[in-house]
Chains A and B, each alone.
Chain A
Amino acid sequence: MRDMQRSTDRTQRNRSGLPSNPAQAQSERRAPSKASTSSMPELIQPFELSEESAPRSKLDELTFAHWRRAGVTPARPCSDAVFLRRAYLDLTGTLPSTEEARAFLLDTTPDKRARLLDALLARPEYASYWSLRWGDVLRIKSEFPINLWPNAVQAYHRWVYAAMQSNMPYDRFVRAMLTATGSNFRVPEVNFWRAVQSRDPESLARAVALTFMGVRAERWPRQRLQGMAAFFAKVAYKKTLEWKEEIVYFDPRLEAPSLRGVAPTFPDGKPARIPPGTDPRAVFADWLLASGNPWFAKSAVNRYWYWLFGRGIIHEADDIRPDNPPCNPALIPYLEKEFIASGYDVRKLLRLITASATYQLSPVPRGKRTAGDTCFASYPLRRLEAEVLIDAIDQVTGSMESYSSPIPEPFTFVPESERTIALADGSITSSFLDLFGRPARDNGYLSERNIAPSAAQRLHMINSSHIQRKLEQSVVLRGILRSRLPRQVVTQLYLTILSRYPTSGEMATALEYLRTGGLNGGLDLAWALLNSAEFTYRH
């Protein structure tokens, strides 16, 4: 409900917020882009400032020094419009509303980017979006092959959401899951031990290694994996009389036949001492969360970097091993140190990275090489994730999705007002989400999510009844198109769909189309912006 009310508000504000005349729209356009010069090619102008990028933090000193050594010129600083959209999408998985976009672009105070970051980190969408990302990694889904079942999925997701919202320190978040005991409904974090395809100690060890160490333990020598598995050999499960309730607990009597004679040994080779009657998981957690642990903070900062840039400093972000070096060796130790010193404060870590000049580079590289080849000397383009994309489409058209899952019992019906990024269950039926590469949440690899484009996706966006209906029936668009001032129509469409003002060339093209395009001119204009790479890709 909360979200629906907000979006209705937005629509109304959109209408009343129209500039009163075209001249005003013009001046609005010029005001925020003082920094860009008229000699810049118009194509690039909306995306970057004309000045050179320069370091402004310790993080930047490390990246700029690296680029200097590598002979790479970093991209220019991104424009305010690009920053706005990027920060919204990366931190909240949500587009700015028309009014939010206008207000930010017209704001002339020098610290507006910093203030925006603080505001975004405090929004409820922040918690929804990061729960979605953690939901992928933690494999939160009802159905095969994870089989958490709906009640547990809701409980687990809610627990993660609360942790995101309250900014639970990352070490506490992980310890809670690692040492959890109790009912899957009442102690939701025990579901970590259920969200696996197989519950033998080695499978549990692999899940822990992947999730909290960024390591693919199946590549380890067998002995090392077994030594780690021995910590999880006493994780027991039992049913209750309640439908699909399950208790996860420590059972000291359990013996795993495959681990006979294997003593719990930490992945760094040190043997563990487990006092009698102690849950070995707690001993493992103590080791993992100790500040010198070579995997824990490293994998966390690298994964958060991946989430912000679409690529880890160590790539892939969940495949940390000695022969997979970071592209910039100084960066991870610095981020680790800051992260630990902050008490594992995730919001602070995200703030640190997103406030940097490095994060705020333009998407346009200065040479032929892509961001992956230059260690982030430009901001890497990525297609919006399935859930973010459908939310963005729904927001700009003022429409909603309805999700339900008739099986397994109990049936799940999601209120239409709920955003797609807030879905708890990765197995809820949706052909759109499947088409756009939602991860299966089968094994928790980051690569499960697919953001590659396909012809079928473009068919859907270009010509499906699903999207066409949203455009034709859109109250938001109708409100915009009702204006008799074509310049206002164009400006408002740009602000709503692309979160920026049009360039003069775009304005001319759009006006020409509105003049000749007949009744459908305005809808086609919205359609074209919706199908542009700029709408579809983080940039």
Chain B
Amino acid sequence: MTNGIRVTRREALTGGLVAAATGVIVPDALAYAVERSQSQRKAPARSVIQVWLWGGPAHMDTFDPKPNSGSDYTGPFTKPIATNVDGIQINELLTELAKVADKYSIIRSMTHGNNAHETAAYITQTGRMPGGRIVFPGVGAVVTLFKGYDAGYKGLIPPYIVLTQLQGRFSEVGFLGTKVKPFATGGDPAQQRFVVEGIVSQSISDARQQQRRELLHRLDTLALALKDDPNIVAYGQCEAQAYDMILGEGRKIFDLSQEKDDLRAQYGRTTFGQSCLMARRLVEQGVPFVTINSQGWDTHKEHFQTMRRKLPELDKGLAALLKDLSDRGLLDSTIVWVSGEFGRTPKVQWEPPWNGGRGHWGPVFSALVAGGGFKGGHVVGASDAVAAEVKDRPVYPWDLLQSMYMLLGIDPAAKLPHPQGLDVRVSPTKEEGLKSGGPLMEIM
């Protein structure tokens, strides 16, 4: 096996110790029948906004500050700030998020132990360990399967939207296939006009759209000759759907100029900020899963300079999103999940070639959850004094994803349609033999 896949011995050891210390629950989706039936009855969440901090944000420089760990560990960030929840402190640059800490909970004990981007992203987003013949779908694809067209979703906008670019090198859909593939908008919502690739055209007038569509219909000789062929029928249906978006209501949803200027300013006129605003508009329309891919968190070099630039953007966009969702009564039905694939090395790498950078760190990292049935104002778990290992209450990616599925009313024991007919469940079963801290009942 190449390096990425194997859980390091260090992780296996520490994971084992943690397991022993906390009386680990062996995960078995079937064992949560009680919680499941309860959550199904309530099923408070309707949509998910996934804020994906691709590259791995530094947990100690965001939501798990360790001001007393010494400058070898803290770098310049030694003054975390208090939030509007007693006892919760976060990085000093997150001033807006500090004002709304009652709306979200911080998980400081996320762990999977993997330090390779692709593999860690796979683990975090699928809630499965890699290996074997099954390439699992990500949470967005699973939610789309259970909340999308097959589950009665009638929206014009595709049920799974990525703002603005796919992560790449990661199959969101795994074995579920293109049916649940996300629609990536392309374009930049911070521009004057958000040119959503395929939906909003920069240069074609509506009249010309109509004209050339008619021309296409008249010249589509093979389609006319074979109009009963199932391929041709499907091709025509897809075209009709496409034009509903191009010329119908679809494009209006992507028109950010319909929002008030001061609200747009609150989100920040950045790509990230306006993506957050766009995400709110989408869940308002009932879109079940929206991913905001925020890049640039892989800060091997110039770590602290990058943080000073990126944290205020994150702070503004995310805080505005939480407030706006809450003001509109959408937060109760919308899960906001903020995470990268791992954290970063606790000790600052001052030596060349890094000169003040942080490397990949899978043993412990932080995630933030809000809304959709997750309580706000809590901290789940803890890392050790230098944010290097889980100290208390490990939360594995599958624990978090299972919690989200429960809030969404998706049965963690439900079968996923595998093309070769294998028995694959939404959440890991006992046979898969994964360690677990159990779902996040304490904040649900």
Q: B-contacting residues of A (Cβ < 8 Å)? A: 41, 43-44, 46-47, 143-145, 147, 149, 197-199, 203, 206, 216, 218, 363-364, 368, 370, 381-383, 407, 427, 429, 431, 434-435, 437, 440, 442-443, 445, 447, 450, 452-460, 462-466, 468, 472, 503, 506, 509-510, 513, 517, 520, 524-525, 527-529, 531-534, 536-537, 539
Indicate which residue in A198, A466, A517 contacts B132 across the interface (CB closer than 8 Å).
A198
B245 at the interface (CB under 8 A from A): yes
When distances are taken between beta carbons in the complex, the residues of chain B under 8 Å from A453 are 231, 234-235, 238
Which stretch (B37-45, B203-211, B275-283) binds chain A? B203-211
Residues 98-138 of B contacting A (Cβ, < 8 Å): 117-119, 122, 130-133, 135
Interchain CA distance A537-B238 in the complex, whole Å: 14
CA distance A187 to B290 in the complex (A): 45
Asked if B242 and A532 make an inter-chain contact with CB atoms under 8 angstroms apart, the answer reads no
Q: List the one stretch of B87-95, B176-184, B377-385, B405-413 in contact with chain A.
A: B176-184
Q: Roughly how many angstroms separate A412 CA and B46 CA in the complex, as a whole number? A: 41
Interface string of B212-227 (1 = CB under 8 A from A): 1001101111111110
Residues of A within 8 A of B198 (CB): 456, 459-460, 462-464
Kindly list chain A residues whose C-beta atoms are within 8 Å of the C-beta of B211: 517, 524
The listed residue (A46, A216, A381, A466) touching B226 by CB distance below 8 A is A381
B169–A528 CB distance below 8 A = no
B420 in the interface (beta carbon within 8 A): yes
**In this complex, what residue of A is CB-closest to B171?**
A440
Whether a CB of chain A sits under 8 angstroms from the CB of B419 is yes
Cβ-defined contact, A456 with B181, below 8 A: yes
Instruction: Kindly provide the distance from the CB of B169 to the nearest chain A CB, expressed in whole angstroms.
Output: 6
> With an 8 A cutoff between CB atoms, is B197 at the interface?
yes
Question: CA separation between A437 and B241, bound complex, in Å?
Answer: 19
Q: Which of B1-9, B15-23, B435-443 contacts A (4 or more CB under 8 A)?
A: B1-9
Q: For residue A435, which residues in chain B have a CB less than 8 angstroms away from its CB?
A: 181
Determine which of A143, A443, A455, A472 lies in contact with B238 in the assembled complex, contact meaning CB atoms within 8 Å: A455
Shortest beta-carbon contacts, A-B, top 8: A459-B198, A455-B241, A534-B222, A533-B223, A458-B242, A528-B216, A43-B225, A524-B212
How distant is A304 from chain B, measured CB to nearest CB, in Å? Answer: 22
A447 to B150, alpha carbons, bound, how many Å? 21
Q: Once bound together, how far apart are the Cα atoms of A455 and B238, in whole Å?
A: 4
- Confirm or deny: B305 has a beta carbon within 8 angstroms of a beta carbon on chain A: no
Q: With contacts A144-B4, A431-B184, A455-B242 known, is A197 near B133, CB below 8 A?
A: yes
Listed A/B pairs (25) with beta-carbon separation below 8 Å: A43-B224, A144-B130, A145-B122, A145-B135, A147-B2, A149-B2, A197-B133, A216-B420, A370-B229, A383-B235, A431-B166, A435-B181, A440-B171, A445-B420, A453-B234, A455-B245, A457-B238, A460-B198, A464-B186, A509-B215, A510-B219, A524-B208, A528-B212, A533-B226, A533-B231
Q: Are A462 and B246 in contact (CB under 8 A)?
A: yes
Q: Is B228 in the interface zone, CB < 8 Å from A?
A: yes
Minimum CB distance partner of A509 in chain B = B218
Contact residue among B165, B197, B220 (Cβ-Cβ distance under 8 Å from A465): B197
- Asked if A197 contacts B122 (CB within 8 A), the reply is no
- In this complex, what residue of A is CB-closest to B135? A442
Within 8 A of A (CB), among B310-349: none
Residues of A contacting B166 with CB < 8 Å? 431, 434
- Distance (whole angstroms) from the CB of A438 to the closest CB of chain B: 10
Q: Which residues of B contact A (CB under 8 A)?
A: 1-2, 4-5, 117-119, 122, 130-133, 135, 158, 165-166, 168-171, 177-178, 181, 183-184, 186, 195, 197-199, 201-204, 208-209, 211-212, 215-216, 218-226, 228-232, 234-235, 238-239, 241-243, 245-246, 419-420
Assuming the contacts A144-B4, A506-B221, asked whether A520 and B234 have C-beta atoms less than 8 A apart, the reply is no
Q: How far apart are the CA atoms of A463 and B208 in the complex, in Å? A: 12
Q: Note all chain A residues with C-beta closer than 8 A to B243.
A: 462
Q: What CA separation (Å) do A459 and B156 show in the bound complex?
A: 13
Nearest-Cβ distance from residue A262 to partner chain B, whole angstroms: 20
Residues of B within 8 A of A532 (CB): 216, 219-223
Q: Is the CB of A531 within 8 A of B131?
A: no
Instruction: State whether B222 touches A463 (Cβ < 8 A).
Output: no
Residues in B with CB closer than 8 Å to A456 are 158, 181, 183, 198
- A459:B212 contact, CB within 8 angstroms: no
How many angstroms from the CA of A144 to the CA of B246 in the assembled complex? 36
A144-B118, A529-B219 as given contacts; A463 in contact with B199, CB under 8 Å: yes
Q: For A43, give its contact among B130, B215, B221 (CB under 8 Å).
A: B221
Highest count of chain A CB atoms <10 Å: which of B5, B169, B209, B225 = B225
- What is the bound-complex CA distance between A147 and B2, given in angstroms? 7
Residues of chain B within 8 A (CB-CB) of A509 are 215, 218-219
Closest Cβ of chain B: how far from A201's Cβ, in Å?
A: 14
Cα A157 to Cα B56 with chains together (Å):
33
- Inter-subunit contact B231/A537 (CB<8 Å): yes
User: Please, how many angstroms separate the alpha-carbon atoms of A143 and B178 in the complex?
Assistant: 20
A513 touches B215 (CB 8 A): yes
Q: CA–CA, A463 to B203, complex, Å?
A: 10
Chain A residues near B229 (CB, 8 Å)? 370, 381
Q: Which of A383, A447, A468 contacts B231 (CB 8 A)?
A: A383
Q: Contact: B132 with A463, CB < 8 Å?
A: no
> With A459-B198, A460-B197, A462-B246 known to touch, is A198 a contact of B131 (CB < 8 Å)?
yes
Q: Which of A447, A457, A465, A517 contacts B202 (CB 8 A)?
A: A465
Contact of B117 with A407 in the complex, beta carbons under 8 Å: yes
Give min CB distance, B288 to chain A, whole Å: 16
State whether A452 touches B178 (Cβ < 8 A): yes
Q: Given contacts A447-B419, A524-B212, are A197 and B224 in contact (CB under 8 A)? A: no
